[in-house]
Structure 1
């Protein structure tokens, strides 16, 4: 004997979901895309929609094109650079030496001022 709940296990709005309720599906076109790793992806687009020239491969993430024989080149990945590497790109060794000497001169001047102040 039940507790009188006729919709037990259902949720609000649940029911048969057929074409009559949802409406008719838009006409579709399936377009194959190929990446540099040889993966094939076939997404579907609405027939009125503009199909892009490239699509991202869901397997490897590389760009995929419509031509199987000439897929787009994979993107170049740059290695991680440290702050020091960026500084070395902008400055030569001579610039670095000059900056170091300037900083050392300031430190020596500050130290001399402090020593002179403590002697008085």
Structure 2
């Protein structure tokens, strides 16, 4: 063919769409419907022999879903953000914190007394 033809680049004459003859038979499938707490319905196809997951993420709102329309999983509990100090206070009592602080200050004062410069 000489330039500017209407042929689709990368194909040959007589080539058709690939079908099952070239790819093989498709596996038998089943349609499973999942439901979230917001009332969204999500239908997904699975192979018949595949294990169906108990939960699936809702593509609309991100909540977990299940196949039970009457009892969808509740939204996950969102823990409030905690600072590093809040976690430390959970692990240490005020007395333990004071002992650790006193020990650290003692080491710092000893280093300064030896002439080490600390910024």
TM range (shorter): 0.7 to 0.9
CA distance in structure 2 between the partners assigned to 1:22 and 1:6 by the alignment: 30
Q: CA RMSD in A?
A: 2.6
Q: How far is 1:64 from its partner?
A: 0.7
Cα distance in 2 for partners of 1:94, 1:113 equals 29
| TM-score where L is the length of structure 2 | 0.75
Structure 1 stretch 7-16 or stretch 87-96: which is displaced more?
7-16
Structure 2 unmatched runs, 5+: none
Structure 1: state its 5+ residue gaps: 115-120
The farther-off stretch of 64-73 and 105-114 is 105-114
Structure exhibiting the larger radius of gyration computed from Cα positions: 1
Partner of 1:3: 2
Q: Distance in 1 between matches of 2:102 and 2:31?
A: 67
Instruction: Give me the TM-score of the superposition, normalised by structure 1.
Output: 0.74
Deviations 1:11-48 (A, max 9, x none): 36874222332333222111111011111111011122
What residue in structure 2 maps to residue 117 of structure 1? none
Structure with the bigger percentage of helix: 1
